[in-house]
Structure 1
Amino acid sequence: MKIGLVSLCSPLHSPEVHLAQAQPFLASLRGVGELLEIGPDRLDEADLPVAFLHTGGTEQEFARLWPAWQATGKPVTLIATGANNSLPAALEILAWLQGQGARGTALLHGDPAALAAAVARRGQVVTALETVRHSRLGVIGDPSPWLIASQVGASSLAARWGTTLVPIPLAAVYDSMQRVMPAAAREAAAAWRGLPARDGVGEEALAGAMRVFLGLADLVACHDLQALTLRCFDLLADQGQTGCLALARLNDEGVTAGCEGDVPATFTMLVLHRLTGRPAFMANPSRLDGDDAVFAHCSIPATLGASPEVRTHFESGKGAALAAAWPAENATLARFGGPALETCWLDEGTRLPHKPEESLCRTQVRLRLDHGTQYFRARPLGNHHVLVPGRHRDLVTGFLAAAGLVPMA
């Protein structure tokens, strides 16, 4: 990570003195990433530009560079030490930025070790925010008709997050699938042959699923997509194929891929993937019991699930899908919602024993949620929710803060 250091110091102070005093802090930052001394004209060169306030009396100097910082689209990160009135200046600047309507400003303050940890975490969330801002999310077919609370306008999403929605007709997938050579589909299916298979899933179903995958992969390349969501039930009706295995494979290869044309859930998958480095699992909350919830769906990335096996798609009994066990003792759960995805629900949970049930989608996980299930009963943002292994609430909260948001209470 490139940390762009914009050093601000009052002319009343000796540069040599304040630089010497800052050395322990600067040394700690060098342990986090490459440190670049930059001015306002080079802010774009840094993954994480930071304003290092060596002294007080730097408020006007920051105000003068604010337009250049604003032009980058990146949130402001202020670093204050405990000497030379650095912190008072940071507080004045922070209040001023809030009055300017700046979103996501962070004030980092503490000893060198604490500061290094805070900068590393801040860099992680700002990098993810930038990736999301420049992402193109393909909407292949309209959202499924039952997603009546999951409609997002392209202009609203672009204005709030910078993410570009790319509408792509289902016919484009069908055309792309037609161009896939049978030998290529069989070759791609080889990746799944080593997995246990049930429900009579054989070579024909695997090759058919890989025709979908290769067709989608072609659209990813043609449209420069970082994410996509597919109206997969129409694919089943029109082509006799399910999208489960194809979407799982795309997620395994780093392209965030969601089901049913669900833009909010796919956007949530994109955020969690870019933050944690792990592909995410989009699932239905299928049962609530006290503080426990069972989540289930038919498309989990093979690299995410434990002991995966190939089965048919649950609702139709056709095609190929994945059944797998949840790979960790806990999980982070999230869901963005609202007209511009300006709201986010966030929680963590602990995995509980669960015997897979034939009345639910193929991959199932039972979790005891830290904050219970009242959210689902009273104020859900929609149907699909997104899970990643591990406890990342603080990381996701930091991401939301960088975007000027807080999780739902």
Structure 2
Amino acid sequence: MALHVAAAPNVDAETREEYRRMYEEALGKYLGGANFILVLTGGSEPEILSAAGDYNILLAWPHYNALPAALEAASALRAMGRFVEVVQLEGPGAPPPLAKVERLVRLVDLLRRPPRLALVGAPNKWLVSSDLSGGPSLFIDEEGVYRRSLEVRAGSEAEALVAGAVESGFGTGELERPLAYAKAIREAAGDVDGLTLGCWCFDFGKVRERGWTPCISLAVLNDWGVTATCEGDLRALYSAVVLRRLSGKPAWISNVNMVTDSGLLLTHDGAPPSFGKYSIVPRMATKAVAALRVEVPPGMPITLLRVSGDLKRAVLLRGLTDVAQRVEACNTQVAVKLPDGAGRAVLKAGLGNHLAYVLDDVYEEARAYLEYLGATVVP
């Protein structure tokens, strides 16, 4: 795909070509990711429609009625079922906001290539509202992954994890098996966008048999470039994959342990180590090897998402991480400060437990994605 220029009929070819070259150079590697249309003036609506494709990004500045033309054309394109987003430029020749453009190109890629998900084993028994219409793209035999992990060495990965910890209650030898398991899962998953594992964290017999739980296995996979979540929750996994693909950063899921008018407390026995300073601690309840207690710094942007099983509804929030007042729950506890009243959306939506989150602000892109799919977004 190329960059198109749209303008009123009186704008000459030389001016059009000058701006085309300027913005082709500025957009560089992003040009192949969507159908870009640079709107120079008002009266360009017919040219915008003529140049439109299935996935469009309109660039318009607040001069010469360019932005009004882009907004008018965008309305018509949406009525045709096309995807379109309008990006406002500061003025003629001003560089495009590349961070915003990059997120929109990621959004277009997500629409073109819907998430492919894998389920390792079966969902945990307590998940009664976490299935996804159409199910996963790939089923992976958990016992096969476990047997394969016994052949894998992961001493260097375990050593690096311990070396990066603030403190560790376990040595390299004790952590090698969970990290070998992570490598075996990654191998079995192939090219899927994400995977979720029906884990044995509360199966006391299996914990005694294997001697460890896979909490750390899943946490580190996210820093290895594989979106991996717990318990076989496909709705949470889908949500995490959407956030990761929009942001380009690791995503994670957590239990909603407390809701206030303007905040949440999220808890889980782990998070990607890259989320903050971490300690390696015993797993909740079983005290087995091992969990991560990650201290997510306050003041970081955060986007949170959970979809319904039919993708027709979603709760989508954004806020800032806050200082957590710890409760009796899982080891990693993340407080989220939300706009006043937004916390009630989690209760109002009624979409289940786990919320996926990413330490980035991709709220607008996530909302555009969900609304294009026809989902009702709460709040």
TM-score relative to the length of structure 2 = 0.82
Matched with 1:268 is 239
Does residue 195 of structure 2 align to residue 228 of structure 1?
A: yes
Shift of 1:216: 0.9
Matched with 2:87 is 108
Matching of residues 38-117 of structure 1 within 5 Å: 46-54=32-40, 69-70=53-54, 75-80=55-60, 90-91=70-71, 93-102=73-82, 104-112=83-91, 116-117=95-96
Does the CA-based 8 Å contact 2:349-2:378 persist in structure 1?
no
Shift of 1:149: 1.9
Q: 1:56 to 1:292 in 2, by over 3 A?
A: closer
- Alignment equivalent of 1:288, drawn from 252, 255, 259: 259
Does the CA-based 8 Å contact 1:125-1:399 persist in structure 2?
no
Matching of residues 9-408 of structure 1 within 5 Å: 14-19=12-17, 22=19, 27=22, 30-34=25-29, 46-54=32-40, 69-70=53-54, 75-80=55-60, 90-91=70-71, 93-102=73-82, 104-112=83-91, 116-118=95-97, 120-131=99-110, 133-134=112-113, 135-154=115-134, 165-180=137-152, 184-194=153-163, 195=165, 196-198=167-169, 201-220=170-189, 223-233=190-200, 238=206, 240=210, 241-306=212-277, 308-354=278-324, 356-357=326-327, 359-372=328-341, 373-394=343-364, 396-397=366-367, 400=370, 407-408=377-378
Distance in 2 separating the partners of 1:118 and 1:398? 18
Runs of 5+ consecutive residues of structure 2 not aligned to the other structure? none
Partner secondary structure for residue 97 of structure 1: helix
Does the CA-based 8 Å contact 1:313-1:321 persist in structure 2?
yes
Shift of 1:204: 4.8
TM-score relative to the length of structure 1 = 0.77
Matched with 1:4 is 2
Shift of 1:322: 0.4
Distance in 1 separating the partners of 2:197 and 2:119? 6
Distance in 2 separating the partners of 1:208 and 1:187? 12
Q: For residue 122 of structure 2, what is the amino acid of its counterpart?
A: D
Shift of 1:300: 0.7
Q: For residue 242 of structure 1, what is the amino acid of its counterpart?
A: T
Distance in 2 separating the partners of 1:148 and 1:316? 23
Partner secondary structure for residue 275 of structure 2: coil
Shift of 1:131: 4.8
Give the length in aligned residue pairs. 371
Shift of 1:130: 0.9
Q: 1:62 to 1:379 in 2, by over 3 A?
A: closer
Shift of 1:233: 2.4
Distance in 2 separating the partners of 1:55 and 1:206? 62
Does the CA-based 8 Å contact 1:295-1:364 persist in structure 2?
yes
Q: 1:287 to 1:11 in 2, by over 3 A?
A: closer
Does the CA-based 8 Å contact 2:4-2:51 persist in structure 1?
no
Q: For residue 116 of structure 2, what is the amino acid of its counterpart?
A: R
Identity %: 25
**Deviates most, 211-220 or 111-120:** 111-120
Runs of 5+ consecutive residues of structure 1 not aligned to the other structure? 37-45, 156-163
> Over aligned residues, Cα RMSD in angstroms?
3.4
Distance in 2 separating the partners of 1:204 and 1:361? 24
Q: For residue 196 of structure 2, what is the amino acid of its counterpart?
A: T
- Give deviations 1:87-126, integer Å, cap 9, x for gaps: 6654553333223222x31233443379744564133222
